Structure 1
Amino acid sequence: MRAFTYERADSPQAAAQAVASHPEAKFIAGGTNLLDLMKLEVERPAHLVDVTRLDLKKVERTGDGGLRIGALVTNTAMASHPIVKRHYAVLSRAVMAGASGQLRNKATTGGNLLQRSRCPYFYDTSKPCNKRKPGTGCSAIGGFSRNLAILGISDACIAQHPSDMAVAMRLLDAKVETIMPDGGTRAIPIADFHREWGNTPNVENALRHGEFITAVTLPKPLGGTHVYRKVRDRASYAFATVSVAAVIGDGVQRFAFGGIASKPWRVEAAEKLSGADAIAKAVLAGARPTAQNRFKIPLTRRTLAATIEQAQA
């Protein structure tokens, strides 16, 4: 691991200012992704700004009947919170489907949204990777691609988005609240937060350098039956091959997908259709699978059908 300098922020704006003032600075909270990447020299921050002691660990109701989840709420605390379990059950179930108990105890809401791709070539510094070093090429194209994305990809990158939590957040129409170094704030719809890869796969989200996530807000509860179904290579501590988050009932039908795209994937027009085959066809329109991950197309259709059946039962 390369040497770096360190400071602890005493306010969200101070954290944003500290990172903005240094071109190679990063925020650090739980560190469950960043520290691994630093050890592999995939990430090489020259300066770390510790935000763990900021007062961003609350889960509280909003004035419009929704919920605000602080950026430093751990995944465990979020998933086990009574309001989340009762009214946003798909989020609780998605979080509990990810990682392990030890990691969920450290991982934070903000950090989960920002975790980077798990493409094996991104982690292997001996291989070309446009996400790690723009302009060098994508080793996954023509390489091992079994678990990579089939949607939202480009000729520059076919990496998949790894978060379970973000899939549920996309289903629920969450907003990501941030603060700028000058004290200005934004509320970014989760649909606009993560990016498709295009020609700049190294740019993974809508944040500017120094912009700091303070909370995620959810609208008022949807009702209906909440399901999160995750298909993976082993029963625990594995990323999704295909996942489906769904809310069905009380006049609501929504679906979001993980494991198959560059970002949490939702096609709202498909939610007006009936039947798993028709919905899946609309969701998968434009898919660009490789020979190794072509199986994700029928697997997505079957997983969606099983999710609908589970919700209706």
Structure 2
Amino acid sequence: MKKMGILVAVLFVLASCNLKQAKEKSDGTLKYDSPEFSDKFNSYISVTNYYSTSDKGSSWDGTLTKFYDQLGTPDKKNVQKEDVYFGNFMWGIDQSVKVAVANAEKAPNLGSADTNLIAFSKEIISASSILQQLESYYKGKSYLDDKYAKANQLYSNFINEQAKVDSLCIVLRKSMAGIKENRDNYFVELNKKEGRLVRYHMLLSMRYAKATFAQIGSKELGPEFKSNYDKLALSVDELNKRSADDSALEKSNITLKSTFGNYLGYLTSIKGNFRMLMDVKDEAKREETLKKIDSDFAEMIDDYNRI
């Protein structure tokens, strides 16, 4: 999960298009450049990113790592500790999950994504409550009285709850995937049509990077890896060329040039490491390269969302 977790975040990366607000169509079609859609859907993306992104601040994935490191996995459980700390997981619950829940009842209607967001949020909030109880139990030294009986029970409760959370997150991501794809297609075509070619190639590059990443198996690269990589390489080359053209950046409303430069640097590094994977034979080197790609994806997404 940790090794490839960032892929989930990539699948739902935000599209910062800075377009003028457009009127809603009378037929109810989602208007992807409306602030109402952006605020709501981006809050949903924030939830899935919080759940999966292991190395960007407070995250649920990081919380799980701390939980298992301190109390052990189900087959090697060890609750006989004097204290535990699972990190600042409530930051993500308050700033991400609860914000998205508040948006779920708002327009526009996102169908099953709304229902699945609420179901997922209910369970992850419940799981976070168990973690809070565990921390309180150890801080209060209650194990001195019950000989770790409640620790064992809370551990089991959390494991059961986490299984529900993980299952519901998969369902939530699937219900968001179609919306995300339609939105990205809309902006790709709109940016191309209106000559915002820097943003056009940014979106294409993210698409090809995601598709290339998806072809990385546990032992070998998938059959479409090379073709997706070739498309990514062409788009990254175009971005690098246009990055020196102030008029092109202005046309695409790229005002944070230093952030754009950072984004492009991480994207170029990802492309280079994808290329390296084609020739790497040593397993240790392969793992090192995958970790570098994973880390660069996290940084790239962070910059991309601010541009």
Q: What TM-score does the superposition give when structure 1 sets the normalisation length?
A: 0.27
Q: What TM-score does the superposition give when structure 2 sets the normalisation length?
A: 0.27
Structure number with the higher helix fraction is: 2
Structure number with the higher strand fraction is: 1
